[in-house]
Amino acid sequence: MSAADAPVYSALTIVPSGSREAAPHAPGRLASIYGQHLGAGAACNGAADPRYRETPNPSRLNQTPIETQVFPKRLCDVMVRVNGVPAGLLYVAAGQINFKMPQETPVQGTVDVQVLYQGRSGPIAKMTVERPPEMGSAQQLADKMWSGLQTIQWESAYQAQPKASRSACKSVPTHSVFRGGLYGYAYYCAKSLNEVVGEYLYYPADPAHPVILLRRAEFRLVNPYPEISVEVEQLLRQRLIRAYGRGTVPGNMYELGLNPPNPGLRWQAGGVSIFLHRNRNYVEPAGIREGVQLIAVRKEVLEEREQKLELEKAFRSSTKLSHPVIEGDLKKELGDLYLVSGKHPASEPERLKAERETRTALLRLLRYNGGDRNRRAAALAAADELAGRLGTLLVVQSVVRGSEVLREAPDLDIIRRQLAPYGIQYTGPGHYSGYFEYDWSLLRRAWKEFPETPWGQRAFLMLQSLSCSIPQFGCQGPNCFREVIRQGEKFLRGYPDTALRKEENYHLAVAYETCWSLSKAAPGDPTAEGAMIDKASSEMARKRAIELYEELMRTAPGSPQARSGEMRLPRLKLSFGTGERAFFCFVD
């Protein structure tokens, strides 16, 4: 082993177990070392010897059971010495060591910590040690968390805090991805409950007469030491089982840290769901945790979360001509002229067959010149979809040395020349997809040549959805929402009785909301880089967004557009930023 392979770490990378940053250590306490070349690539776990127990340091007699267990002093050729005394080792890997401070460690001052691996010594790191503050027993801590749960004043309205305690509550901006549901809160307050922190989250509610109500609360330990956390968790679980039954394993709720393999448990108490779990730390292994958490959430918040996910799925589908419903409409309008999409080919013979069939159907549509104006607009829209589909078939997939490689189809140039007279151009493989991209020229023709027809107007809606991707749409810089607003308002003035008014109203509302939310972005927010909005126009945009969402609720109740507007209105009416960024073209 070369000198370069000696263990690498520093005092700043030696932290108490469960902590994210350096802090004082103490006799018997667990700690972690993070670095390089600390051990072998394969991790080793050290088991405690069940026959023995350590005598606690007289200056720190109140220790948890694991702190007095005896762990191996050498593990997979690794040792850790604290002031020259070998420490017990719980876990060893190349990037991390979990160890237990020896009982001989003083409770004040500094100590020298050094890692030895296969005869190579790491640097001597000087660590601060001090007697940790005395904690209540696990039972006392569990009782405080349980008491906090029982005294929550659900649905109480948010009240501004006195100036002296204003730091305890803050407004939290919400990114568009996280609007509604668990992330859609407006205010967060933290209160000390003596060794336990109570965190209270207030959510905007009621689109007609907005209020801000307490609908979520969480309780955690001030000192989330893993071993005491485990005991508190066990006591809380027993108490929850006695009160509400066995509990169930919740689904993946990443917003609360409820992820496999340690999702915790869930109980139902009337209109409140209660979750109990140990948050995973940002480092491995799984044995290092941030501490027990008791979380309670009102049903309204969870219902809004599910609705948000459902609406996101609905809107993602509605922006694609290949969506089954829109494909069904095209098939109904065009009959055998339209080729319904199938599974992407899994082999080269299947790709060749799909390419020929798609190209034949595309040329048939491009040459079609019959029927009424709406049918001809539908033919252009269908041809646009097939042109995009063909782009995915103009690459050959192969595996080279275990990696997938995409290359141009052998007949690509022939196909390009064949389609060029119809204005179809493939610009090249997409940065993310690897497939040949097409510029939506047929969709633009459908709108430009047949604007009064239902299919021509569908094309307009699609062009709005794709606006940031189409240079010809007219966007100047990242603030594309301005062009969406200009063209959308002009569209409604020209076609007030359009069958797609609901969809266009929604596009306009979201564009206006984007203008408003960008004006509320914090300085340096990377998602708002390049935004140019003055205060007067942003306030006008907020009011117009409210007007359009309320119109959707009156004229299209129960529709995805109206349901989405209903979730947005409380925040808009209360002048909170929503984080909306639709029709804002991020600068790469």
Which pLDDT belongs to residue 419? 94
Mean pLDDT lowest among 153-157, 254-258, 275-279? 254-258
Supply the Cα-derived Rg of the chain in whole angstroms: 31
The tokens describing 269, both together, are 């108490």
Q: For residue 171, how many other CB atoms are within 10 A of its CB?
A: 12
Segment 385-394 shows an average pLDDT of 93
Percent of the chain residues topping a pLDDT of 90: 58
Which pLDDT belongs to residue 528? 87
Determine the Cα–Cα distance for residues 192 and 167; give it in Å rounded to an integer: 13
Which pLDDT belongs to residue 184? 87
Determine the Cα–Cα distance for residues 523 and 219; give it in Å rounded to an integer: 32
Which one-letter DSSP state was computed for residue 452? Answer: T
pTM for the whole structure: 0.76
Determine the Cα–Cα distance for residues 255 and 273; give it in Å rounded to an integer: 15
Segment 232-247 shows an average pLDDT of 96
* Residues 459-478: tens digit of each pLDDT: 999 999 999 888 888 887 89
Task: Choose between 37 and 432: higher pLDDT.
Answer: 37
Segment 414-443 shows an average pLDDT of 87
Highest average pLDDT, of 103-107, 216-220, 240-244, 304-308, comes from 240-244
pLDDT at 195 over 90: no
Length of the chain: 588
pLDDT at 502 over 70: yes
Determine the Cα–Cα distance for residues 233 and 224; give it in Å rounded to an integer: 11
* Among 442, 316, 349, 448, residue whose Cα is nearest residue 389: 442
Which pLDDT belongs to residue 165? 62
State the pLDDT confidence band at 367, using cuts at 50, 70 and 90. very high
Three-class SS state of 347: coil
Which pLDDT belongs to residue 525? 81
State the pLDDT confidence band at 1, using cuts at 50, 70 and 90. very low
State the pLDDT confidence band at 539, using cuts at 50, 70 and 90. very high
Which pLDDT belongs to residue 420? 93
* Residues 58-75: tens digit of each pLDDT: 988 877 778 899 999 999
Mean pLDDT lowest among 118-122, 168-172, 366-370? 168-172
Segment 182-204 shows an average pLDDT of 88
Segment 99-128 shows an average pLDDT of 94
pLDDT at 333 over 50: yes
State the pLDDT confidence band at 284, using cuts at 50, 70 and 90. very low
Which pLDDT belongs to residue 587? 54
pLDDT at 281 over 80: no
Strand order in the sheet with 30-34: 14-16, 30-34, 96-100, 88-92, 44-45
Task: Choose between 505 and 3: higher pLDDT.
Answer: 505
Q: For residue 53, list its beta bridge partners.
A: 69
Which pLDDT belongs to residue 282? 38
* Residue 192 near residue 171 (C-beta atoms within 8 A): no
pLDDT at 166 over 80: no
Which pLDDT belongs to residue 118? 93
Segment 413-423 shows an average pLDDT of 93
Distances (CA, A) of 580 to 416, 493, 512, 540: 39, 26, 10, 16
Which pLDDT belongs to residue 285? 36
* Among 433, 463, 447, residue whose Cα is nearest residue 319: 463
Mean pLDDT lowest among 128-137, 263-272, 324-333, 433-442? 128-137
Whether a cis peptide bond, with omega within 30° of 0, leads into 285 is: yes
Q: What is the separation of C-alpha 281 from the centre of its chain, rounded to a whole number of angstroms? A: 17
How would you label 54-74 residue by residue, b for 16+ Cβ within 10 Å and e otherwise? beebeebeebbebbbbebbbe
Which pLDDT belongs to residue 286? 34
Tell me the pLDDT of the chain averaged across its residues.
88
Highest average pLDDT, of 179-188, 348-357, 471-480, comes from 348-357
Task: Choose between 226 and 311: higher pLDDT.
Answer: 311
